[in-house]
Amino acid sequence: MLQSPLEKAAKGESPWVKSWNRFRRHRLAMTGLIVIIVLALMAIFAPLLSPYSAYELNLADRVSPPNLKHWLGTDGTGRDTWARLLLGGRVSLSVGLVAVSISMAIGVLLGGLAGYFGGKVDMVIMRSTDTVMCFPSLIIIITLVAVVGPSIYNTMLVIGLLGWPSAARIVRGQFLYLREQLFVEAAKCLGVPPLRIAFLHILPNAIGPVVVAATFGVATAILMEAALSFLGLGVQIPTPSWGNMLQEAQTLTILEQQPWRWVPPGVMIVISVLSINFIGDGLRDALDPRMVL
């Protein structure tokens, strides 16, 4: 039997429960969530899902097409494509999560300070944000990685350090609105310190847009890592990632005659990015306070 919103409110359902109920009715979002969970489990248990090591060379089976022995074939040095695909998923997803964690931490801190204190603090932080956003991020990331040297850790760090401006602007906008609410005025009257008000009272109420931005940021970071690795500036061989597996598809022979070497990582990138974007769409709708069950 369907219940009205008032009946559900009377039962004491929390906002998070209501958000989850909205999210699970979003079919594409739930599909994306299931796919990402499966990909994450495959990445975590990668050594258990393949009889071969991702680093094991076998020149006798080099450039072998998919068969019962090697499900997705082998590359130019005889390494199993399936094993490298699983381990590459661990690397690519880790880069996305770590890079977004760095960028969100910086963006939330700076955006919160700018939105709460305003004035000169807001001006300095926002002009710095505008300056960073003026430059093409991919070009700056490529330049920085080339300077500090390509590696998985430098890739995470550079992507994270240059991905904070959008999060800062989102958080600032939320803080500018929420700092005028009555619960903030009440906290000020009680003598609560400003930073405590900003990050323990206002931030929890602004977390919805931050979560949505972080979700889309993971997809962007995965694509950025793939682009850097494809150019030879990201994760370095022999450590596999979906990006550097695509790097092998730079010759016409491999493109035309050996699709098993580049199609699987390309498909995984597409599937993971689409799934994350679907999750982001679902979270955006579920966390919208204007939505009513």
pLDDT in tens, 76-114: 888 999 999 999 998 889 989 999 999 999 999 999 999
What per-residue confidence (pLDDT) applies to 290?
A: 54
pLDDT in tens, 52-73: 888 888 888 888 888 888 888 8
pLDDT in tens, 163-219: 899 899 999 988 988 888 888 888 888 888 888 888 888 888 888 888 888 998 899
Among the ranges given (102-116, 148-162, 261-275), the one the predictor scored with the smallest mean pLDDT: 148-162
Q: DSSP of the chain, one letter per residue?
A: ----HHHHHHTT--HHHHHHHHHHT-HHHHHHHHHHHHHHHHHHTGGGS-SS-TT---GGGTTPPS-SSSTT-B-TT--BHHHHHHHHHHHHHHHHHHHHHHHHHHHHHHHHHHHHH-HHHHHHHHHHHHHHHHS-HHHHHHHHHHHH---HHHHHHHHHHTS-HHHHHHHHHHHHHHTTSHHHHHHHHTT--HHHIIIIIIGGGGHHHHHHHHHHHHHHHHHHHHHHHHTTSSSPTTS--HHHHHGGGGSHHHHHH-GGGTHHHHHHHHHHHHHHHHHHHHHHHHT-TT---
Whole-number average pLDDT of the chain = 85
Note the pTM of the prediction, 2 decimals: 0.84
Mean pLDDT for 110-128 is: 90
